[in-house]
Amino acid sequence: MRFLLPVALVCLAACAMAADKPTKIFPYAYDQADLPNGLRVITVPTDYPNVVALYIVVQTGSRNEIEPGKTGFAHLFEHMMFRGTKETPTAKYEAIMREAGASSNAYTSNDLTTYHTTFSKEDLETMVRVEADRFQHLDYTPDVFKTETLAVLGEYNKNSSLPIRKIDEVMRNTAFDKHTYKHTTMGFLADVQNMPALYDYSRQFFDRYYRPEYTTIIAVGDVNPKQTKALVEKYWSDWKKGSYTPDIPVEPKQTAPRTAHVDWPAQTLPWVAIGYKAPAFSDTEKESAALDVLSFLGFSQNSDLYQRLVVQQQKVDALMGDNADSRDPSLFEVLARVKKQSDMKDVEEQILSTVAGFKDTLVPADKLNAVKKRLRYQLALSLDNSDAIANTLAHYIALRRTPEALNRIYDLYEQVTPEDVRDVARKYLVESGRTTVTLTGAAGK
């Protein structure tokens, strides 16, 4: 669950909170169409004039990296896709973007890779054409590939300088045995170091996953659905459908608590991270929605624990909870950055006590309802420009390939009861499914 999502309208939030039956959280009409090759096109006209946000979502992330020794390739292609084609080499692509005054970038996570460009509406055809070219005809030499893999290694090393990144890496590697969520989006270090030798495999990876059936084009802003679909058909309809389906390994049930510790080589504040095996995202069943609500109730800045640990006792300077939206079962996590190493055990015990409280005591109905209203209001406030709207939709399209997933999950939040919160705590926040990772730095006190 992403509580600080990028999107929309204050009046929508007020109306939603006032109505007996909440309106749909996503306030815009949209057009959804599929090409014969499996490519999906979603067009969302908004009230924001002249600007278009074009997001291309590939349902391929680190989850898809199933072969041993070959992690990090989804993220690598976030880089490789900017290396150009025979028709549009890198320099020409960059010149097109400069001339259009466009902003273009990409990001990768567990379940998706997203390419996004924001530009003036008169450049829509140019952008659709250029994107079609690089998705269908990406071209790079072994030397260019080697250069980019070394850049990715540099990014890995830069990220590794952050304790929270190391916590994430160790948490995943400790909590999972078989599923590909065991490794981060960056991949295992040894695999990243070996990437330069895997040029042929990189071509195979691209051929497998950069296919229309894995891809959704989202156009949000000053756009016409009929015109947008026609442009996509013009430039993307010859893209051939693939035949590859990854065999994602199933994670066996965890039967006992696990622990790991990181000795950080430099001075830093200690961390305590606690993760529990949790269900996959669902927009039809209430379990993942109830865990989202529990995370907010227990570990957000509005929670009793935050007020106690951060404000009153001042033992912690950062506390956060997250129930990851993911295509497969993942982790419910709580992280705390502790001011003194001597307080780590007490902070851990207070987190566990908070978790136990949800199992033993029903959340007051008025408190639960206040959280539901806040979640709707928070999302509505963030839908304030076309790029933010497209970015939010990309998250849910990677999971369910339709904007309706956003409406459905917020409908489920409204249905969550105190009993639902108690039941998911009893089912998932259990000792046998728990992994605890601690980190302390040099000269810790």
What are the DSSP E strand ranges found in 28-182? 31-34, 40-45, 51-58, 103-108, 113-120
Q: What's phi and psi for 322, nearest 5 deg?
A: -155, 130
51: tokens are 């600007």
pLDDT at 319 over 50: yes
**3-class SS of residue 73:** helix
Q: What local confidence, expressed as pLDDT, does residue 24 receive? A: 87
Quickly name the fold that domain 27-236 has.
Cytochrome Bc1 Complex; Chain A, domain 1 (3.30.830)
pLDDT digits (tens, 9 = 90+) for 99-124: 999 999 999 999 999 999 999 999 99
Q: How far is Cα 83 from Cα 229, in angstroms, rounded to an integer?
A: 27
Domains 27-236 and 258-440 share a fold: yes
| pTM of the entire predicted model | 0.92
pLDDT at 427 over 90: yes
Q: Is the previous residue joined to 8 through a cis bond, with omega within 30 degrees of 0?
A: yes
What are the CA-CA distances from residue 149 to residues 61, 142, 199 (Å)?
17, 10, 10
pLDDT at 6 over 60: no
**3-class SS of residue 37:** coil
Q: How far is Cα 174 from Cα 375, in angstroms, rounded to an integer?
A: 32
pLDDT digits (tens, 9 = 90+) for 245-258: 999 999 999 999 99
pLDDT digits (tens, 9 = 90+) for 132-149: 999 999 999 999 999 999
Q: How far is Cα 205 from Cα 192, in angstroms, rounded to an integer?
A: 15
445: confidence class by pLDDT, cuts 50, 70, 90:
very low
Q: How far is Cα 362 from Cα 351, in angstroms, rounded to an integer?
A: 17
Q: How far is Cα 244 from Cα 137, in angstroms, rounded to an integer?
A: 19
pLDDT > 90: what percent of the chain? 93
pLDDT at 432 over 50: yes
**CA triple 196-215-138, angle to 5 deg:** 40
Mean of the pLDDT values across residues 84-95? 96
Query: Residue 234 is inside which H or E element, if any?
Result: helix 225-236
270: confidence class by pLDDT, cuts 50, 70, 90:
very high
Quickly name the fold that domain 258-440 has.
Cytochrome Bc1 Complex; Chain A, domain 1 (3.30.830)
Q: How far is Cα 227 from Cα 211, in angstroms, rounded to an integer?
A: 23
Sketch the domain layout of the chain as residue ranges: 27-236, 258-440
**3-class SS of residue 375:** helix
